[in-house]
Each structure stands twice: as structure tokens, then as C-alpha cells.
Structure 1
Amino acid sequence: MAKRLATEYVFAKLQLSHEELSKFILFMEGQQLQLHVMVLENGNQQLVVQDTIGKEEIRLTFERNAHTYVCELTCRIVKPKLTNAMRKAISVFKGTATVNRIYSHYTMIYHYKEGFVRKIVEQTSNSERIIFEHKDILNNLERTYESRLVEREIRLIYTAIDELLDLRNQTTQQKELHDIDQRLSALQHKLFVFEA
């Protein structure tokens, strides 16, 4: 199995409430890492998270915005304990991130949205290949179902138009012709709406 050389957070964003920030701090302490919390201007907070063995650290600055704390981050991590802690934090606290997991001959690019991996791409020096992509199956099924209902409705409108045209060809009275023309016009408008 290939050994990971580094993990690079090209972009990561966490948006937490005050209560969630407290849980985040407890979560990081539970990962057996050293943690220093500093309160900055305007209530902003900076967390210095350090791997105790390799002395690698990352700084997470949470800027206070009304009722939330927002942390946007780019960094490169080598130590496994710190790497795993950040991966779990992005997942547990529903973060958004683009993460490069760098190996000697390729890079795996993970795209997170709201804590879930939505796409994984394998990148080599001369190619890219999608390994995984989240498909929203339920919404796709709903759209397919709705499009089939529209197709059915269009068929029914065409049948009604054909019947009215046959009736119009057989009718000689002016009032009936006028009524048929109005119904045909309404069906033509419905057809235009559905086909648009």
C-alpha cells in the first residue's frame, strides 16, 4: 500500500455556533493532541493544534460573525495523528473542503461538502480520473418521475386536440366552431407550457 507523504488542505471552511465551537475544542482535545486556545480581538478565537510527537502544528482562526464563528484554512499536514484529527473534524462539524492526499506517484483529491465526501479524483502527472462521485439518487428519481408525468400529460393533450379537430371538421354551426376553437387555443397554450 502506498504511503501518504502529506495532506494538503487547499481550502477548508468550518462555520460553527458558539456551542459548536466549544464542542470542537473538546473534540480536538479528545484526539490526543496539544491544544492552545487564544481569545483575540472582537471575540475571535485562535486554536493552535499540535501533534505531541512530531511537533507539527496548525493554527485555526475562528472569526466571530454575529452568532457564528467561521474558520477558513489552507495548510499542509504530514503527521498522521493531526491529519486524522482534521479529517474527522471536517466530517463531524460539517465542513466544506478540498483536500489533496499526496502520494509519491499520484494525488487523491477529496471534495467535501457539509461534512460528506462528494467527489474523489485521482490525479497523476498526465491524467485525472474520477474515483467516486456522489449521485443524488432521490432527486434524480423525482425529476424522472415528474418528467414522465409531463410526457403523459402532453400525450393526453395531443389526443384531446386530435378529437377536437375531428369534431371541428364535422361541425357546421358557428357557435360550436367558436367553442371548439377556444378549447383548441387553451390546449395549445397548455401544450406550449409543458413543452417549454
Structure 2
Amino acid sequence: MAKRLATEYVNANLQLTATEMAGFIRLFEDQQIHLQVRVLEGGNQELVLEDVAGREEVRLTFERHQDYYVCVLSCRLVGPRLTNAMRKAVSAFRGNAIVNRIYSHYTMIYHYRNGSVITIVEQTAAGERVVFEYKDTAQQLERVFRSRLIEREISLIHGAVNELLDLRNQATDADEIGRIDERLTEMTRKLFILEA
């Protein structure tokens, strides 16, 4: 198995409430990451994360925006403990990020949206290929179901139009023909809307 050389976070974005901020800090403490919290002016906070060996550190600046703490981060990590803790944090706190996991002959690019991996792309000297892509199956099934309902309604309207045309061909009274024409006009509008 290839050894990971480094992990790069490109424009990782986290948005946390005050309660989530406390949970965020606790997550790193649970992962045995040395942590310093500095309160800056305006209610902003800076977290300095350091692996236990003291070889690697990351500074996260959270700016206070109304009820949220917002952090935009780009960094490169080498140590496995800090790397795993950051991965868990992005996932648990619904972060958005592009994460490059760098190996000797290739890079795996993970795209996170709301803490979930939506695509994984393998990048080599030969090019890129998509390894994984999230598909929202439930939403796709719902769209198919709705389109089938519309097809069924169109079919019913076609049947009603045919019946009205038969009635119109048999009608002799001008008032009755007028009512049938009004219904046909109404059905035509419905068909136009549904088929669009």
C-alpha cells in the first residue's frame, strides 16, 4: 500500500455556532492534539493545534460573524494524528473543502460538501479519473416518480380530449358545441403546461 506523503486542505470552510465551537475544541482534545485557544479582538478566536511530538502545528482563525464562527483554511499536514483529527473535524462539523492526499506517484483529490465526500478524483501524470461520485438516489427516484405522474395525467387528458371531440362531432346544438369547445380549450392549456 502506498504511503501518504502529505495532506493539503485547500480553502476548507467551517461555520460553527458557539456550542459547535466548544464541540470542535473537544474533538481535538479527544484526539490527543495539543491545543491553545486565543481570544482575539471582536470575539474572534485562534486555535493553535499541535501534534503531541511538537513537529507540526496548524493555526485556525475563526472570525466572528453574528452568531457564527467562520474559518477559511488552507494548510499542508504530514503527521497522521493531526491529519486524521482534521478529517474528522471537517466531516463532523459539516465543512466544505478540497483535500489533496498526496502519494509518491499520484494524488487523490477529495471534495467535501457539508461534511460529506461528494467526489474523489485520482490525479496522475497520465491525467485525472473520477474514482467516486455521490449520487442522491432518493432525489433521482422522486424526480422519476413525478415525471411518471405527469405522463399519466397527460394520458388521461388525451383520453378526455378524444371523448370531447367525439361528443362535438355528434352535437347539433350551438350552445352544447360552445361548452364542448370551452372544455377543449381548457384541456389544451393543461396539456401545453404539462408537456412543457
Instruction: Tell me the TM-score normalised to structure 1 length.
Output: 0.96
Q: Which residue number corresponds to residue 138 of structure 2?
A: 138
SS in 1 for 2:126: coil
| CA shift for structure 1 position 170 | 1.6
| CA shift for structure 1 position 110 | 0.7
SS in 1 for 2:131: strand
SS in 1 for 2:2: coil
Q: Which residue number corresponds to residue 176 of structure 1?
A: 176
Q: Which residue number corresponds to residue 128 of structure 2?
A: 128
Q: Which residue number corresponds to residue 118 of structure 1?
A: 118
Does 2:152 align with 1:159?
no
Aligned identity (percent) is: 61
SS in 2 for 1:110: strand
Correspondence list, 1:33-48, <5 A: 33-48=33-48
Q: Which residue number corresponds to residue 92 of structure 1?
A: 92
Whole-Å Cα distance in 2 between the matches of residues 164 and 189 of structure 1? Answer: 15
| CA shift for structure 1 position 97 | 1.0
Amino acid at match of 1:7: T
Whole-Å Cα distance in 2 between the matches of residues 95 and 170 of structure 1? Answer: 68
SS in 2 for 1:4: coil
| CA shift for structure 1 position 54 | 5.3
Q: Alpha-carbon deviations, 1:92-118, whole Å to 9, x = none?
A: 111111101111111111111111111
Whole-Å Cα distance in 2 between the matches of residues 125 and 54 of structure 1? Answer: 34
Native 8 Å contact 1:7 1:76 kept in 2 = yes
Whole-Å Cα distance in 1 between the matches of residues 171 and 123 of structure 2? Answer: 71
Amino acid at match of 1:112: Y
Whole-Å Cα distance in 1 between the matches of residues 126 and 54 of structure 2? Answer: 34
Whole-Å Cα distance in 2 between the matches of residues 142 and 23 of structure 1? Answer: 36
Instruction: Tell me the TM-score normalised to structure 2 length.
Output: 0.96
Whole-Å Cα distance in 2 between the matches of residues 19 and 173 of structure 1? Answer: 75
Amino acid at match of 1:171: A
| CA shift for structure 1 position 82 | 0.8
| CA shift for structure 1 position 67 | 0.9
SS in 1 for 2:48: strand
Native 8 Å contact 1:54 1:79 kept in 2 = no
Amino acid at match of 2:154: I
Q: Which residue number corresponds to residue 105 of structure 2?
A: 105
- Structure 1: gaps spanning 5 or more residues: none
Amino acid at match of 1:79: G
Q: Which residue number corresponds to residue 81 of structure 1?
A: 81
Amino acid at match of 1:104: S
Q: How many residues align?
A: 196
Q: Alpha-carbon deviations, 1:22-67, whole Å to 9, x = none?
A: 1111211121121111111101000010112251111100001111
The runs of at least 4 aligned residues of structure 1 exceeding 3 Å deviation read none
Amino acid at match of 2:68: T
Correspondence list, 1:52-67, <5 A: 52-53=52-53, 55-67=55-67
SS in 1 for 2:135: coil
